Amino acid sequence: MFRYWIFPLLLALLMGNAQALDDPMRPPGGAAVSSGKAASGTRFVLSSTLIARERRSAVINGRNVGIGDHVNGARVVEIQPTQVRLQHQGRQITLSLLPVAVKKPVSAE
């Protein structure tokens, strides 16, 4: 009977010391997205946008939203390929994705 309890006990002890892993694909020292902060202290983080023929959507604070939807008390006013405009307490907030860096070859002279 004792040997049936040893494995779960050891597993629980080992998991207690586990730490979260960092994302290996995240750029060093930088955030993947930009964020905006409203006057009330509410923080908005834009993760991605989707522009399709039939709809436009964005992921803000981990939620998939469309034009007219609300996130943390702010209404989504406009969704563009690299930015989203929100209206929060009568103020406009613009969230932008980081620009895509395109490497160009160096010409040999």
pLDDT in tens, 2-43: 566 777 766 676 666 555 566 666 655 544 444 565 555 678
| Contact predicate 63/71, CB 8 Å | yes
In a domain, 42, yes or no: yes
| CA distances from residue 59 to 20, 31, 50 in whole angstroms, order as listed | 23, 16, 9
In a domain, 91, yes or no: yes
CA 71, CA 32: separation in Å to the nearest integer? 20
Give me the number of domains the chain comprises: 1
Which pLDDT score, from 0 to 100, does residue 14 have? 66
What is the domain-level CATH number for residue 43? Answer: 2.30.30.830
Model's pTM, two decimal places? 0.57
More reliable by pLDDT, 34 or 67: 67
* CA atoms 69, 71, 72, 77: torsion sign: negative
Confidence of residue 74 (pLDDT cuts 50, 70, 90): very high
